[in-house]
Structure formats: structure tokens, C-alpha cells
Amino acid sequence: MGCHNFYDLLAHVGCKIECVTYGDPVVNVAVECTDHNEVLMDYDVDENPELVEMMIEDKLGKTAPACGNTIIDTLFREEE
Ligand SMILES: [Zn+2]
């Protein structure tokens, strides 16, 4: 299922939306509507488990800001 166009997503205006992970270690992240118990969009992990670990630690407040952009910038800067 999921949202693939304007009308799919419009049906969830006003719903309670959550962003959650699945697996330990994490293998999938999803945006879900908890009112309709429906996955709106999701992605499987790529081949970079180090980045996943850094971002999860970040979300738990152990490192920098909640949005992963700073972590991603730092990771790619170190690889140059
Ligand atoms: Zn909904």
C-alpha cells in the first residue's frame, strides 16, 4: 500500500502520523498513519550500516541535532 499521489496522502490529513524503525539492527524505516494503521511510505536500509548507527544514536540524543543532515554532512566530509 502506501501513498503514491496527492489523493492518497490527502486521505490522511488530520491523522496521527509516526516515523518508526523496524529490526534490530534497523533494516527499515517507515512513516505510518496510526489512525488507519497504514504505512504511508517506507525505505529499507542501504549498504551503509555505519551511517544508520550514527543516525540512530543521534535520534536518541547521544550526539548532535535530531535531523540527520549534520551527521550525513560530517560522514561524507570525513570520507573526502
Ligand atoms: Zn490516516
Stretches where the chain sits below pLDDT 50 are 64-66, 79-80
C-alpha 34 – ligand 1 centre gap (Å): 7
pTM for this predicted structure: 0.64
Could you tell me the residue ranges of all domains in the chain?
1-45, 46-80
C-alpha 40 – ligand 1 centre gap (Å): 9
DSSP for 1-21, please give it. ----SHHHHHTTTTS-EEEEE
C-alpha 37 – ligand 1 centre gap (Å): 7
What is the pLDDT at residue 74? Answer: 55
**How far is residue 12's CA from residue 1's CA, in Å, rounded to a whole number?**
14
C-alpha 16 – ligand 1 centre gap (Å): 7
Torsion of CA 20, 48, 23, 4, to 10 degrees: 50
Ranges assigned E (strand) in the chain: 17-22, 28-33, 38-44
What is the pLDDT at residue 51? Answer: 76
What is the pLDDT at residue 36? Answer: 95
